[in-house]
Amino acid sequence: MLSRHQDPIVAIATAPGRGAVGIVRVSSPQDMTPLVQALCGRTLKPREASYLPFRAEGGDPIDHGLALLFPAPHSYTGEHVLELQAHGGPVVLQLLLARCMALGATLKLRLRLAEPGEFTQRAFLNGKLDLAQAEAVSDLIDASTEAAARSASRALAGALSTEVGELRDALIKLRMLVEATLDFPEEEIDFLQQADALGRLARLRERLDAVLARTRQGALLREGIKVVLAGQPNVGKSSLLNALAGAELAIVTPIPGTTRDKVSQTIQIEGVPLHISDTAGLREATDEVERIGVARSWDAIEEADVVLFLHDLTRVGLPEYEAEDADIRARLSTVDPARIVQVFNKADSTAVPEGQVLPDEALKLSAKTGLGLNELRQSLLQHVGWQSTPEGLFIARERHVQALGRTREHLALAMAVATQAPPALDLLAEELRLSHDALGEITGTFSADELLGEIFSKFCIGK
């Protein structure tokens, strides 16, 4: 695996398709002067754009454009990097790519096509970025909202890494303190008390909780919220999807069972992406197609972060309707109640029937007129723990949240050991070490090769 990281690599670094400008990027730990001279006809000044012809094998120009050379270590990857900026036609870029590959074979450079994310992976391996910053590169490219893009930019600048680094430094000092006492058991208790080890541990846990809360917010910006609209046929699921999306995405008719399959759309509320799915009405299927649609509805419900259980105010209290709703409630009993929001639709058509009492937490709205939609939007954010975007929020991933969660668990165990009389210092030292390892996974201070492969494989080629 390591030998492949020593190979020069090349790829088209711009998105597929036609464009004004396209870029072919080469990165190599070896000197690229022979390649540059053969391709550009002369040497290049470092970090200075040169307009020149990119030469084919016979000397004819493939295209005219800008060539830039970034000598190591002052480049994106930390290696020698050559960027060729040509016209953005797919054929031109493929010809440039093929020319680079041919020169690599002629000059025996072992030049090969880059794998997805390999340029950024080399930046990480060469110490130009830590792992959290490398992931932020991909997150910035994939950002679907302005808030996500700004937060990804802050993470790329090192906001998350700085927070984690401060926690790590405090944890290292505490580990050094505890492990030093293991060599002097007769003085360990007094020594730890004088050094305020318990106080340090408590303050570390408080700081960790604050970082974890911000990281959860950042993960919501990146991952978004999966919301499923569920309920009987004709309660207004498709109308609500259209109202939230602001477009006619789903067909709306008075005929029960109009929606036969899942219809999804991503919208944003306060910069948080919401992946909303309209599903087939939950009832006893009348044919095979509807049976499949209903089964998919239940699958979507199981995977959802929030389930909007829709009810029809115009039918509340009718025996047949209430019986069907009771069957759905019974099946939803396996779903965490905290994930379910009771929504009573068609508030524009009727008031709550006399004698009927809605649940305290229920929302009344009209998908037709928009009444109550703002309250629904805020309720969705509250259900996943979103708070108004704090200044300086950085984007994060679920793996960051999980790593901080494991760090928190080990620090809690460390506190439990430290408060025993007398404390088992070897166990305390071990829990602090495990906390340190979990924290190191975020920035790549401690990481497995499998984790690196999983992360960088999801990048685009050329990045």
Question: Strand 306-312 relative to strand 225-231: parallel, antiparallel, unpaired?
Answer: parallel
Would the annotation count 33 as a binding residue?
Answer: no
The separation between CA 439 and the C-alpha centre of its own chain, rounded to angstroms, equals: 18
Beta strand pairing status for 61-70 and 80-88?
antiparallel
Confirm or deny that 153 is annotated as ligand binding. Answer: no
How far apart are the C-alpha atoms of 103 and 28, rounded to whole Å?
A: 14
Q: What are phi and psi of 143, to 5 degrees?
A: -55, 130
Is residue 259 a known part of a binding site? Answer: yes
Of 241, 280, 243, the closest CA to residue 259 belongs to 280
Tell which phi-psi region holds residue 28, choosing left (phi > 0), alpha (psi between -120 and 50) or beta: beta
Angle at 48 between CA 42 and CA 51, to 5 degrees: 55
- Known binding residue 391? Answer is no
**Encoded tokens for 456:** 């960088």
Given a contact cutoff of 8 angstroms between Cβ atoms, the answer to whether 301 and 309 are in contact is no
237 annotated as ligand-binding: yes
Residue type, position 256, single letter: P
Task: Tell whether residue 463 is among the known ligand binding residues.
Answer: yes
Inter-residue contact 394 to 241 (CB < 8 Å): no
Task: Check whether 254 is labelled as a binding-site residue.
Answer: yes
The set of residues, in sequence order, having a beta carbon less than 8 Å from that of 411 and lying 6+ positions away, is 201, 204, 205, 208, 431, 432, 435
- Measure the CA angle with vertex 188, ends 182 and 192; round to 5°: 110
Mark 63-75 as b/e (b = at least 16 C-beta within 10 Å): bebebbbbebeeb
345 annotated to a ligand binding site: yes
Residue 461 marked as a ligand binder? no
Q: Is 343 among the annotated ligand-binding positions?
A: no
Q: If you write DSSP's letter for every residue of 203-267 in order, what string do you get?
A: HHHHHHHHHHHHHHHHHHHHH-EEEEEEESTTSSHHHHHHHHHTS--S---SSTT---S-EEEEE
**Ramachandran angles phi, psi of 78, nearest 5°:** 85, -5
State which amino acid sits at residue 428. Answer: L
Cα 130 from Cα 115, distance rounded (Å): 19
253 has binding-site annotation: yes
CB 8 within 8 A of CB 69: no
Does 374 count as an annotated binding residue?
A: no
- 25 annotated to a ligand binding site: yes
According to the annotation, is 281 in a ligand binding site?
Answer: yes
Tell whether residue 246 is among the known ligand binding residues.
Answer: no
Backbone angles phi, psi at 181, to 5 degrees: -70, -20
What one-letter code names the amino acid at 203?
R
279 labeled binding residue: yes
Known binding-site residues equal 25, 83, 128, 234-239, 253-259, 278-281, 345-348, 463
Known binding-site residues for GTP equal 234-239, 253-259, 278-281, 345-348
Known binding-site residues for K(+) equal 234, 253, 255, 258
Known binding-site residues for (6S)-5-formyl-5,6,7,8-tetrahydrofolate equal 25, 83, 128, 463
Known binding-site residues for Mg(2+) equal 238, 259
